[in-house]
C-alpha cells in the first residue's frame, strides 16, 4: 500500500508589506538628501555663475535679492527709460495734493454760498414779488430775473427799471474771479417781427444786452459770455400765463472755478 502524501497548508504572510515600505522609506530619504544637497549652494559657485550670466547678457553683474543697483537712491536695472521708479513718499504726495484740492473746493463752495446770500438780500424786494430767484447748483449761483423787469415785450433794449437790480449785481460780482455766463430764455410762443426772426435771436440779444451793461460796470470782458437758449430750457409750464412769464427770463450764472467744487446736481433755492 502506497504512503499517503502529506499536504501542508501554506499560511499567508501578512508581513510582506514591510519590504515594500522599507524600500519606499529608503527612496524618500534618498530624495530628501538630494534635495538638501542641491539647496546648499556653494556661494563661490553662485558668484561665478552670476558673473558669467551677467557677462553673457551684457549687464556686468546681477542684482542681489532685496538690493537695487546704485543703492537706495538708484534705479533698478531693467526698468525702461521713461518709467518712473517710485518710493513710498511718492504715493503720499498725490494724496496730500488731493486733500489740498478738496480743501480749496470746500472754501470755494462756502464763498459761493455766502455770495448767494448777499445777492439774495440785495434783491429781496424783487424776490418777494416773485420776479427774481437766486439758486445754487452744481454749476454755481444762478440769478433768474424775469424779462418783465428788464425788457419791454418783444424788445431786447434794457428798460430804466432794469438798471437798479443789474447794477446791484454788477457791484457785487466785480471783485470776484469767477466766470459769468448770461443766458437768455423765452417762452414757446413764436415771435417774428422786423427785429427778431425767432426766439433764438431774441434770447441771444437780450443776454448780450445784460453782458454789455455788466462790462460797462466793472466786470472784465474775459469773465463774461452770452448764450441764447430760446424756449429750449423752460422753468415753468408753457401752458399757463404764469408759467410762460417765468420762462421769459435772463439767468446770470456765476460759475465755479472747477465743476468738482459742487457735491452733486441738487439745486438749492437761496432765500434772503
Q: What confidence category does residue 69 fall into, taking pLDDT thresholds of 50, 70 and 90?
A: very low
- Residue 214 falls within a domain, yes or no? yes
Using the 8-state DSSP alphabet, how is residue 139 labeled?
A: S
> Highest mean pLDDT: which of 31-35, 60-64, 87-91, 186-190?
186-190
If you average pLDDT over every residue of the chain, what do you get? Answer: 79
Both 46 and 123 in one domain: the answer is: no
Task: Look at residues 182, 172, 174, 180 and name the one whose alpha carbon lies nearest to residue 122.
Answer: 172
Q: Domain limits at 51?
A: 18-57
Give me the number of domains the chain comprises.
Answer: 2
User: Whole-prediction pTM value?
Assistant: 0.62
Q: Any idea what the CATH number is for the domain that residue 118 is in?
A: 3.30.1330.60
The average pLDDT across 245-266 equals 78
- Residue 172 falls within a domain, yes or no? yes
Both 206 and 111 in one domain: the answer is: yes
Answer for the pair 193, 154: CB distance below 8 angstroms, yes or no: yes
Predicted confidence (pLDDT) per residue in 206-251, tens digit: 999 999 999 999 999 999 999 999 999 999 999 999 999 999 999 9
CA distance 244 to 149: 14
Both 51 and 116 in one domain: the answer is: no
Predicted confidence (pLDDT) per residue in 170-202, tens digit: 999 998 999 999 999 999 999 878 889 999 999
- Residue 49 falls within a domain, yes or no? yes
Answer for the pair 110, 92: CB distance below 8 angstroms, yes or no: no
Both 53 and 116 in one domain: the answer is: no
Both 215 and 135 in one domain: the answer is: yes
Q: What confidence category does residue 265 fall into, taking pLDDT thresholds of 50, 70 and 90?
A: low
Residue 43, number of CB atoms within 10 A of its CB:
7
Amino acid at each position: 500500500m502506497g504512503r499517503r502524501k502529506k499536504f501542508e497548508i501554506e499560511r499567508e504572510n501578512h508581513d510582506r508589506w514591510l519590504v515594500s515600505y522599507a524600500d519606499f522609506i529608503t527612496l524618500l530619504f534618498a530624495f530628501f538628501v538630494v534635495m538638501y544637497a542641491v539647496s546648499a549652494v556653494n556661494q563661490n559657485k553662485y558668484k561665478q555663475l552670476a558673473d558669467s550670466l551677467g557677462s553673457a547678457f551684457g549687464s556686468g553683474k546681477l542684482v542681489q535679492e532685496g538690493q537695487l543697483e546704485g543703492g537706495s537712491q538708484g534705479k533698478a536695472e531693467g526698468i525702461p527709460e521713461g518709467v518712473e521708479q517710485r518710493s513710498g513718499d511718492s504715493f503720499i504726495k498725490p494724496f496730500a495734493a488731493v486733500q489740498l484740492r478738496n480743501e480749496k473746493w470746500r472754501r470755494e463752495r462756502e464763498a459761493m454760498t455766502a455770495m448767494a446770500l448777499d445777492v439774495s438780500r440785495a434783491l429781496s424786494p424783487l424776490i418777494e414779488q416773485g420776479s427774481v430767484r437766486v439758486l445754487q447748483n452744481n454749476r454755481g449761483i444762478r440769478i433768474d430775473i424775469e424779462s418783465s423787469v428788464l425788457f419791454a415785450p418783444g424788445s431786447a433794449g434794457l428798460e430804466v427799471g432794469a438798471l437798479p437790480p443789474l447794477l446791484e449785481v454788477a457791484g457785487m460780482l466785480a471783485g470776484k474771479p469767477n466766470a459769468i455766463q448770461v443766458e437768455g430764455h423765452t417762452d414757446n410762443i413764436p415771435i417774428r417781427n422786423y427785429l427778431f426772426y425767432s426766439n433764438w435771436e431774441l434770447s441771444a440779444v437780450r443776454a448780450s444786452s445784460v453782458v454789455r451793461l455788466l462790462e460797462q460796470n466793472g466786470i472784465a470782458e474775459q469773465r463774461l459770455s452770452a448764450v441764447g437758449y430760446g424756449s429750449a430750457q423752460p422753468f415753468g409750464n408753457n401752458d399757463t400765463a404764469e408759467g410762460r412769464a417765468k420762462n421769459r427770463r435772463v439767468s446770470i450764472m456765476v460759475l465755479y472755478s472747477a465743476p468738482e467744487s459742487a457735491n452733486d446736481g441738487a439745486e438749492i433755492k437761496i432765500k434772503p
